[in-house]
Structures are given as C-alpha cells and as structure tokens.
Amino acid sequence: MSDDSDNSTPITHEDLDIMRLNNSDVTSSSDVINPQATNTINNGSTNDNIQNSSYSNSLAVKTNIICSDNQKSECDIPSKNKNDNESLDHNDTAILISDDNDSDWEDIDDNDNDINNDLLSSLGNFLENINPINDPPCLIDDSDWKDIDKNHDTPLLNDGNKLKNIDNQSDTSVLTDDNDSDWVDIDDIDGDNNDTVLLSDGSDSKDKDASSNNSENNSPIDPILLTLNAEQARLYFFMNSHLGVKSFIHEPSTFDDNIVMYDKNEIVEIVDGRYIKDKSFYLVKWRNWSLGFNTWERFGSLYKAQEHIFEFKKKKHSSNKSINIMHLMLTRHIITQLFELFRTSNGLSLPMISIEDIYGFFNNLGNGTEDQQKLRKMSLRSNLSTLSLDFFRQTQFRDLRQWEININVFSSKPKVKVENNIDLEGPPENFAYIPNYTYDSKIIIPDNPPSGCICKKNCLFSSNCCNKLSGEVNVYDLEKNILVAPDCPVFECHENCKCIMTNCFNRVVQNGSKVDVCIYKSRFPGWASKTCQNIEMGQFVGICVGEIITLKEFNRRLQNSLTSIDFTWKLDFNDANNFKCIVDCTNYGNFTRFINHSCEANLSIYHVWISSLGTYFPHLALFANRKIYAGEQLTIDYFINRSVDSLKKSGIKCQCEMKNCKGYFF
C-alpha cells in the first residue's frame, strides 16, 4: 500500500475551505455512474440476533449494588444465534413473548396457534376496560407538568449540604424553600407516603380513587398502549397508574443513603425539563454516554451542574413530548447499575418480577423493624426500576427488530444484524438504509460505457481486459480477493464486455458482498459495524453508499446543520483538490455508515469503476487489508494521509485505542 495514496477520505475542515473556493456549479457534470440497482426483496428473513431480556423463574432482585459509574464490559462478542427455524414474513405483525428462559419474536397472526392466547385475550380485555371518559389515562401527559420557566420557577439550591439527611435519623428528604424544587420527606410520620396523587394542577389529592374523575380524565389514551403485548401493557398500566408507584418519584434514590450528585463535567447539556408536583426534573445528555442513556434526573442530583440548567432555561426549548413514570424510575446511576448487574455476553438478562410481587412489597412496607422497612423500600425501588428497564428494553428490541427487518428487505445477502447491548437507544433517527447510491436529478450519471473487453472466457491473465486500465493483468486473485494496493484504480468488466459474466474474474464489487455484518452499539464511540464471519485478506466487504450531492448542496447542508463532515466522503481519486461530488451518509447509507475510524484499520478504501468510466464517480469499495475474525469491529482509517500535527488542531481525542493511535480525530 502506498503511503502517498490519496484515497477517498472524509471531508476535513481544511477541505471545507477548498470546497468553498471550488464551489462552482457542478450540477452540469456529465460524468456518470451506474449504481447496481438490484433491490432484491428478502422474504422470510429471520434475524435471531436481537437479544431479549430473558427472565429467570426466581425473583432475584439484588439490592445494595456497588458498581462503578462506568460500564466496563462491552459486548462485542457476536451473540449466539438461536436455532429458531420459524421465519417471520415481512407482512406479519411481530410481538415479543416472554417465557421462562427466553424471549422470542412470534408471529401473532399466523395460524399455528402457538401464541399464548391467554395473553392476547387479557390484552383485549384490558384495552376494552379502559374507558377514556371515566378512567385515568395510563400516561402522565403534559398536562401534569408546568412550564418550568415561570417566574416562580425552581430556585437553585444554595447549599449542597441540604441534600443530606436533615435530622440524622431516618429521614431521607431535604427541603429548601417555599417555592420550589423540594424533596418531600418520604418517611414522614404521618404515614401518607402512598397518598400522593399527581394532578395536573400540582396539588395533592389524598387517597384518591384511581377511577374517579380528575383533571387527567380528558387526556387521550396513549397510543403506545396499542403497540404493547399483554404483559407489557399490564406493566405499563400498573406503573403509570399505581398510586404507590407514583409516590416513589418524590423519593430520593433508595439505592443510596445520599442523593447521587453528578459532576457538571459529566453533562453535555440539559435537553428537556419538567415540573411534576413542584419537583423539577431535567432530561440530561451525558458526556461519553449515548442518547440511549439520556435520563431524567431530579434537581438535587444536578446541584453541581446548575450552569447547565441556566443554559437550558435560556434556550427555553422544553419539548412537549409525553413521558411516563417509568422514565423517572431510571436515573443514569440506576440504569448503569442495572446494566452492570444483569449484563451477560448476549445482552441483558433481567430477573422476572411480577406485579403481584410488587403489591407484596407495598403491603409490607410498614412492617418490621426500621432496618427491615428500609431494606424493603430499597428492594421495592430496585424492583420498580428493573421493571421499568425491562419495559424500555422490550420496546427497544421491538424497534431494533423492525429496523433490522427493514434493512434486510433491501439486502438479499448478506444478512445485516442489529444489536444494542450497551444502552437503551433504538434505531438512529432520520436515517434510511439504502443498498446503493442515491442522487437527485441534478446529477446525471450516464451508464453506458463506450466499449468493453473482447475476452472470450473469464478474463483471467488476459492482457486486453478492462483490468489493464488498472495497470495490472489481474486485479483479483482466483478467490476474488484484491491483489493491488488502494492507490490503484480498479476497472471491472461490465455489460458491454464480451466475457462470460458469470465466470469473469474481473467482476467482484458489482456482484455484491458475501459478508454477514452486524450494526451494533459499542461503548465508545457509539454505533459501529462488525463482521459476523471470518473475512480473508483482500476480500470485498461492502461499498460506502449514501446520497451523491454536489459541493454546492453540501455547503448548503453544512450551513444549515443538515450534515456533518463526519459522515461524508469526497468522491475524488488521487487528487484531493479536484472532486465534484460528495457522498453524504448522514441520512442515507448502509452498514458502512457506522464504521468507525481506527489508526490501524482493518479495511481499505478502493476506487472501483464498473459501468461508468466518469472520473468523478467511482464506487468507494471496502476490502479487508488483513484477515478479520468473526466478531471483530470493522474499521477504516479516515485520515490515511493526514499528519498528526494537522489532526491535533481539532483537539478531538481519537478513541481507537490502537497501539499506533495518532491520538487525535479530525
């Protein structure tokens, strides 16, 4: 591999200046590419890879968990496939059924009666029994929350000490002032712990009957209910309507004696804020934690991060999205502990907790010694948090599973799996999986190459073949692995060649990749791609597809924050200053869009021409530059020609963790 090769690299900050200078009208380009538009529908693709939380039979909730805040383990090991022969049709409605040991996706509209009919009928009864007029909705909708920006809004606490126990006895609460943001005494002597009902006006209503009229009654039924299976719906309803559960949101964490106070440097920003019965909650985006770890935290926990709250209030962009009580049961601290505690090599394995068990806890909360009561409360809190996590985990599985099905509709082979055993994030938003380049009508790509080779057979050792343009007799070996270096252009045979298409040794990229891959969540840096099988050195792995856009369009997107240089590739070859188009993978792409950078990458980018010889429109094809083993993360060197000094300018730390890491990213 030549050091001075200038293979396609992501757009860099330096490039941006060049592009702005070069930003002449490129829309009239007559260069052409001919994407292989073979969108084969992959019926019956079953992907067993998405792991479900598997329940054990026992109620095995652990409390007093001592874990570090950082997740140490990362599940990069490819998960075991279950031997499930049953296929889901794309038209089938899939739901998740939990059984003793495992959870499988089942076809609920098949005829084989293998669904748990009791669950379905109880779901039916449950949904029928919700009377939108008389019954309270399951969700705490926005009417429960006040605008946090009013003048009487949360005053910031003056003194962190106030967050400690105020009477050195069993009280867990702190109170600050009359107006706002106060922690309620959860073990006060008047015994009204379970009395509090959350009302839209913020006032308490003691011992209110769940079915009586109140201001929540006019809220519509949350549509999420209609997407749940019976168990999920039962849990969802229980958690969001049980008065005892609601009262728990007033309590400081019972995992710890003291409130967990996060450091301001752990926080990127506050993205949302709500009031619930005079308590302030803020949705936090954590540094080095992905969106799947955004959590609602109480003001007290954010005491040391008040400047982020100021920033948030300045922006005043509180969203009106509904949240439910289960979100409030899951602080980052708790999610981290539960992930640490229940992680297996295949994902999370959460214990089975029934609603009846929870009732048992509630009924016995006041019994026994003080220590026993405290322990029960901690166990209850732990159980409620685990139930909440399991709920979100299951809805996450459903969403990821749907994404996986959608992806495989477009790829006949290989199968692309999707996995997230790291956090609660679902499929990336605003991203569509595509099998090939996409571009609008401004970009004209002729697809009829003027001439082809006249080889009689398979183009092996033929000095008159298209591959001669590459300067080599053979670009690919007998196994169809690449022989040349990345700085060598590759010209494959095409439709105007005389060779026998099925036997030709000079057609590899156009026939597609044979590698099964997995898009998965890694601890750092977010989504990634890995291989599910061994890959030979030189083997073709995939093409970087996305939207082909002009420089003008690219600049427009950049200015409007519609794209980022991190997700774009220049379509240049050996001339970084001479390119007309860019591949933007921000919103459209395939698994290559999730490939992270490594200073010792295992994939190299090649420029491959097939039906179009237009200079500016090569395919960006990825080939293995060494043997890659099943389960290994796939990586590209984004900055192959960049010096450490030029990378340093960005100040962004590279997270590839390789021995020869250049240290910086972009």
From the list 183-191, 568-576, 588-596, 600-608, the region that binds ligand SAM by CB under 6 A is 588-596
**639: contact with ligand SAM by CB under 6 A:** no
CB of 349 to ligand SAM, least distance (A): 25
CB of 600 to ligand SAM, least distance (A): 11
In this chain, which of 403, 437, 491, 527 binds ligand SAM, going by CB under 6 A?
527
CA angle 277, 283, 286 (to 5 degrees): 150
The position carrying tokens 């956090």 is 423
CB of 39 to ligand SAM, least distance (A): 24
From the list 102-110, 155-163, 435-443, 590-598, the region that binds ligand SAM by CB under 6 A is 590-598
CB of 588 to ligand SAM, least distance (A): 13
In this chain, which of 526, 538, 546, 614 binds ligand SAM, going by CB under 6 A?
526
Instruction: Show the tokens assigned to 74.
Output: 């990362």
CB of 643 to ligand SAM, least distance (A): 17
Within residues 215-274, the interface with ligand SAM by CB under 6 A covers none
**525: contact with ligand SAM by CB under 6 A:** yes
> In this complex, which beta carbon is closest to ligand SAM, that of residue 466 or of residue 634?
634
Angle between helices 230-241 and 355-364 (to 10 degrees): 20
From the list 62-70, 233-241, 257-265, 519-527, the region that binds ligand SAM by CB under 6 A is 519-527
Q: Please name which of 549, 552, 545, 559 lies closest in space to residue 582, comparing C-alpha atoms.
A: 549
Residue 51 neighbours by CB under 8 Å, 6+ apart: 79, 346, 347, 348, 397, 419, 421
Which strand (E) or helix (H) includes residue 645? helix 644-648
CB of 470 to ligand SAM, least distance (A): 28
If 0-12 CB within 10 Å is exposed, 13-18 middle and 19+ buried, where does residue 91 land? exposed
CB of 13 to ligand SAM, least distance (A): 13
CB of 408 to ligand SAM, least distance (A): 20
CB of 287 to ligand SAM, least distance (A): 13
Phi, psi at residue 639, to the nearest 5°?
-120, 50
> In this complex, which beta carbon is closest to ligand SAM, that of residue 97 or of residue 634?
634
CB of 160 to ligand SAM, least distance (A): 34
Q: Please name which of 237, 232, 224 lies closest in space to residue 390, comparing C-alpha atoms.
A: 232
From the list 40-48, 84-92, 320-328, 523-531, the region that binds ligand SAM by CB under 6 A is 523-531
**591: contact with ligand SAM by CB under 6 A:** no
**655: contact with ligand SAM by CB under 6 A:** yes
> In this complex, which beta carbon is closest to ligand SAM, that of residue 525 or of residue 631?
525
> In this complex, which beta carbon is closest to ligand SAM, that of residue 573 or of residue 591?
591
| Eight-class DSSP state of 633 | B
In this structure, the number of other CB atoms found within 10 A of the CB of residue 161 comes to: 9
Binding mask 476-515 for ligand SAM (x = CB under 6 A): ----------------------------------------
Report how far residue 533's alpha carbon sits from residue 624's, in angstroms, rounded to the nearest whole number: 13
Angle between helices 370-409 and 230-241 (to 10 degrees): 140
The region, left, alpha or beta by phi > 0 then psi within -120 to 50, assigned to residue 365 is alpha
- Residue 13 CA, chain-centre distance (Å), reads 27
CB of 16 to ligand SAM, least distance (A): 15
> In this complex, which beta carbon is closest to ligand SAM, that of residue 349 or of residue 529?
529
**656: contact with ligand SAM by CB under 6 A:** yes
CB of 529 to ligand SAM, least distance (A): 8
Compute the half-sphere exposure of residue 352: CA atoms within 13 Å on the CB side of its CA: 14
From the list 309-317, 533-541, 575-583, 650-658, the region that binds ligand SAM by CB under 6 A is 650-658
> In this complex, which beta carbon is closest to ligand SAM, that of residue 173 or of residue 590?
590
SS3 assignment for 428-464:
CCCCEECCCCEECCCCCCCCCCCCCCCCCCCCCCCCC
**How far does the chain reach from its first CA to its final CA, in angstroms?**
22
Which strand (E) or helix (H) includes residue 408? helix 370-409
> In this complex, which beta carbon is closest to ligand SAM, that of residue 233 or of residue 647?
647
Instruction: Show the tokens assigned to 512.
Output: 């597609």
Whether residue 597 contacts residue 638, with contact meaning beta carbons closer than 8 Å, is answered with yes
CB of 45 to ligand SAM, least distance (A): 24
Report how far residue 604's alpha carbon sits from residue 623's, in angstroms, rounded to the nearest whole number: 5
Report how far residue 301's alpha carbon sits from residue 279's, in angstroms, rounded to the nearest whole number: 12
In this chain, which of 566, 576, 631, 646 binds ligand SAM, going by CB under 6 A?
566
**293: contact with ligand SAM by CB under 6 A:** no
SS3 assignment for 359-398:
HHHHHHCCCCCHHHHHHHHHHHHHHHHHHHHHHHHHHHHH
CB of 646 to ligand SAM, least distance (A): 16
Within residues 6-25, the interface with ligand SAM by CB under 6 A covers none
Report how far residue 398's alpha carbon sits from residue 421's, in angstroms, rounded to the nearest whole number: 14
**665: contact with ligand SAM by CB under 6 A:** yes
SS3 265: helix
> In this complex, which beta carbon is closest to ligand SAM, that of residue 426 or of residue 526?
526
The position carrying tokens 């728990």 is 248
> In this complex, which beta carbon is closest to ligand SAM, that of residue 356 or of residue 429?
429
CB of 498 to ligand SAM, least distance (A): 40
**594: contact with ligand SAM by CB under 6 A:** yes
> In this complex, which beta carbon is closest to ligand SAM, that of residue 389 or of residue 519?
519
Instruction: Show the tokens assigned to 377.
Output: 């409360």
Comparing every residue's Cβ against ligand SAM, the nearest one is 526
Whether residue 368 contacts residue 376, with contact meaning beta carbons closer than 8 Å, is answered with yes
> In this complex, which beta carbon is closest to ligand SAM, that of residue 126 or of residue 431?
431
**664: contact with ligand SAM by CB under 6 A:** no
Instruction: Show the tokens assigned to 209.
Output: 């009957």
Which strand (E) or helix (H) includes residue 94? strand 94-98
Whether residue 1 contacts residue 556, with contact meaning beta carbons closer than 8 Å, is answered with no
From the list 83-91, 180-188, 294-302, 649-657, the region that binds ligand SAM by CB under 6 A is 649-657
Count of residues engaged in binding ligand SAM, rule: CB under 6 A? 14
**601: contact with ligand SAM by CB under 6 A:** no
Q: How many residues does the chain have?
A: 666
**567: contact with ligand SAM by CB under 6 A:** yes
> In this complex, which beta carbon is closest to ligand SAM, that of residue 146 or of residue 597?
597
**597: contact with ligand SAM by CB under 6 A:** yes
> In this complex, which beta carbon is closest to ligand SAM, that of residue 139 or of residue 585?
585
Q: Please name which of 491, 495, 246, 208 lies closest in space to residue 362, comparing C-alpha atoms.
A: 246
Residue 563 neighbours by CB under 8 Å, 6+ apart: 554, 557, 584, 586
> In this complex, which beta carbon is closest to ligand SAM, that of residue 10 or of residue 252?
10
Q: Summarize as ranges the residues that interact with ligand SAM (CB under 6 A).
A: 525-528, 566-567, 593-594, 596-597, 654-656, 665
